[in-house]
Structure 1
Amino acid sequence: MVIPVHDVNPVRRTPWVTYALIAANVIVFLHTPGMAGSVAGGSNLAQLCHLQAFMDQYAAVPRELIHDQLPRMVPTGEVGVGAHGPGCVVGPPGYDKSPPLSVFTAMFLHGSWLHLLGNMLFLLIFGNNMEDRMGHIRYFLFYIVCGYAAAYGFALLNDTSGDPLIGASGAIAGVLGAYLVVYPRVRVWVLVPFLIFLPLRLPAWLVLGFWFVLQAVYSSGHGISGAGSVAYAAHIVGFVVGMLLALPLRPGTPPPPEPRRLMFGRQARPRHTW
């Protein structure tokens, strides 16, 4: 696994849409029940029930997306005591849910700080250049289309699943796929864990290609345990869709200027010798 830190690919305009998406994801996360203090851990039953009800209402559910089958009984967010002890109360839904709209809301939900920060790191590093290349409006539409494609692609493969699907990973995977097509030779500073974190400057095709291969391996169930908790198939679909949509952008894209002297992604100050 490699952790991207910075790409050597300057932009011509401020990536306002990328910044807005990051801000929106952070704000939604901070307002998600029980998530703001999740670093310290120790969520109580009331918080877990409230979170379960929140996710059921705003997350995308494959079974609902494909078959339009909304559940008759959903978590209410309240705690009750049943035959097996305390638990979350269920009852008829007190809201109207649109499965297609839930894909949009699910794109701004995350299950942990690590989930959020990992996604926002990739979006910040690679999204600014794609926004610069596409323009603000086209980039936003591209982001949303990739997110929808990833969600519905995953749902088609798991059409009986009632587990909530959340996160911006599918849309961001589309951004990564587009970046690979448009800027394959751009150098990316990454941290490689090998006893310590080693900083390396690698081409984008290697960094993103390796990321895609990992998603494919994880999606097949190899390499990790509990692969079902992460929608790796959604990452694959989003990545491929992003590549296909970016193909018309590749002709005429000049290679980015690269400073001759670099020190971990920044231009080194000139040194004078005596």
Structure 2
Amino acid sequence: MFIPLHDRNDLDHIDRQYVTLALIAINVLVWLATALSGASGALTEAAVLGLGFIPAVAYGGAELAPDLALVPEPLTYVTYAFLHANFMHLATNMLFLWVFGDNVEDALGHLRFLVFYLVCAAAGALLHGLLDPGSQAPLIGASGAVAGVVAAYLVLHPRVRVWVLALGRIPLPLPAWIPLALWVIYQFVMIVIDRGGGISWAAHVGGIIAGAILVVLMKRREVPLFDRRIVSPRAVARKGASVPNVPRRWGR
């Protein structure tokens, strides 16, 4: 539907999004350690089966060979979110996390954001498993956790202008609620009409639901929901200059 490129939304409570950067780094390192170690860049079987979330294994309907069970259940509710099928799968998830994660981390704080991210990942795996408990296909990818981040950003900053690449080629500056709300609706539609596809829409929806609820419960007290500010580019406010208390607009 769209590719996020950039938002002009400064950090108010933290100096730098250390957890967001660390999560991106871990995902990239795991991909390098797994995808590039297999033939033709494919993920190794051991990583997929041992760290991916397999509903039939998680619910006791099937068992992995002892040499493939890299972590005990229920850790696969989280470990699956650090594996990706290919570079584009990784890049898409990390781009969404890069654009939207910093402001959600700012609103929650470092530790709570880490907990938030992991719980959203687990919620994605949970809904995926509940809708197809007998599946023996491993679920991998950070999409569930990232969907939670997107939902939280939508709840926190719906009016912030976000540059997106619409239809894969048209750059547009839009209020965040337009592309993000459309993206959320699309996930709910696809979970109904594409149940047997290769994408786990259920993991996305599970992350969205968890993210929308958790951000309300975990945000800092002083952080408002549905912030009505329209954030301007940083260049508008010069160093050392006083900025009048007027509504901020997107522009020069």
The alignment's TM-score, normalised by the length of structure 2, stands at 0.82
Deviation string 1:134-176 (CA, Å, 9 cap, x unpaired) is 1100100110111111111110111000000111110111111
1:56-205 pair list within 5 angstroms: 56-65=49-58, 67-71=59-63, 92-94=65-67, 96=69, 97-193=71-167, 197-205=169-177
| Corresponding residue number in structure 2 for 1:11 | 11
Residue 235 (str. 1) matches residue 204 (str. 2): yes
Matched, 1:53 2:46: yes
**How far is 1:221 from its partner?**
2.7
| Match 1:217 to one of 189, 195, 199 | 189
Among 26, 29, 50, the alignment partner of 1:27 is 29
Contact 1:61 1:165 (8 Å CA) reproduced: yes
> Larger radius of gyration, structure 1 or 2?
1
Structure 2 distance, partners of 1:6, 1:105, is 28
- Cα distance, 1:37–1:93 mapped onto 2, change above 3 Å: closer
Q: Partners in 1 of 2:30 and 2:99 — Cα distance?
A: 21
Query: Which segments of 5 or more consecutive residues in structure 2 lack a partner in the other structure?
Result: 237-249
Q: Once the two structures are superposed, what CA deviation does each residue of 1:169-199 show, in whole Å capped at 9, x if it has no partner?
A: 10111111111111111111011137xx221
More strand, by proportion: 1
Do the aligned residues in 2 keep the contact of 1:10 with 1:256 (CA within 8 Å)?
Answer: no
Shifted more, 16-25 versus 239-248: the winner is: 239-248
Report SS of the residue matched to 1:31: helix
Query: SS state of the match for residue 188, structure 1?
Result: strand
- Greater shift, 241-250 or 2-11, is seen at 241-250
Q: Which amino acid aligns with 1:94?
A: D
Residue identity matched to 2:198: S
Is 1:206 aligned to residue 199 of structure 2?
no
Match of 1:69, as an amino acid? G
Q: How many pairs are equivalent?
A: 231
- For residues 68 and 139 of structure 2, the distance between their equivalents in structure 1, rounded to whole angstroms, comes to 19
Q: Give how far 1:256 is off.
A: 6.1
Identity rate, percent: 41
Contact 2:160–2:231 under 8 Å retained in 1: no
| Native 8 Å contact 2:61 2:134 kept in 1 | no
> Secondary structure, in 3 states, of the residue corresponding to 2:138?
coil
Using the alignment, how far apart are the partners of 1:176 and 1:227 within structure 2? Answer: 24
* Structure (1 or 2) with the greater helix fraction: 2
Which letter does structure 2 place at the counterpart of 1:3? I
C-alpha distance in 2 between matches for 1:6 and 1:259: 11
Structure-2 separation of matches of 1:260 and 1:30: 35
